[in-house]
Amino acid sequence: MGSLNGKVAIITGAAKGIGEATAKLFAKEGAKVVVSDVDEENGKKVVEGIKKAGGEVIFVKADTSSPDDNKNLVKKTVKEFGALHIAVNNAGIGGPLAKTADYPIDGWKQVIDINLSGVFYGTKFQIPEIIKAGGGSIVNIASILGQVGTANSPAYVAAKHGVVGFTKTAAIEYAEEGVRVNSVGPGYIKTPLLSALDDETLEYIKGLHPMKRLGESNEVAELILWLASDKSSFVTGNYYAVDGGYLAR
């Protein structure tokens, strides 16, 4: 019997990387999964894979930077599966790389809209349905850069710090109503976000982690699963790093 049997879960940014790994793991653990992404082609491939493995799943195309898309995503989830118990607000982008004075304003707006406002919009519309379902769990995906800074990514760092703070506030507000809200801070993980980096840069990044390697998407998914499940029933308002020791330095 899976740890998420009978639960309904939304996962944003689920067409690739951490979101894809989480969707597949949730389905394996018995959840009815809603795979959501702007990438319809790869999102539907994830759905097909889950169905072949015997899981219950649908795809809903949604842009997390749109309040209406987030509202519609929750509405379609409840219409299809009857309830909402779990949400993983995972969708995000890396954005441009530049020092603060040179950072493009349109790039700043895009990163904040997707990585921070998108988490707020998702959480805003997810909470009422989770309360109706008798409680549940929201997991917001932050980053190690939600705790520390790094050069040339001012928007990303600001957004991820914002996710951590926002998560704590939502957790406090809805703790008595049975909604747990936590954030996860992955280190550098082998996902499409790193695909633009050359081998030399990747080796340098590996060296920033005491384990001297990049993380795997499934390693992050396992932590998300624990936070989504009843096994973490007394856990809310917290930030959990899965970073190969990056933040220990």
The catalytic residues are: 156
| β-sheet bridge partners, residue 180 | 137
| 3-class DSSP state of 234 | coil
Q: Is 61 exposed, middle or buried, given 0-12, 13-18 or 19+ CB atoms closer than 10 A?
A: middle
Alpha-carbon distance 76 to 195, whole Å? 32
Whether the Cβ atoms of residue 193 and residue 17 lie closer than 8 Å to each other: yes
- For residue 141, list its beta bridge partners: 184
**CA angle 150–185–111, rounded 5-degree value:** 60
State which amino acid sits at residue 245: G
| Nearest by Cα to 87 from 172, 152, 170 | 170
Q: Tell me the residue length of the chain.
A: 249
Strand partners of residue 215 = 189
Structure tokens at 236: 């809310």
Whether 155 contacts 111, CB under 8 Å: yes
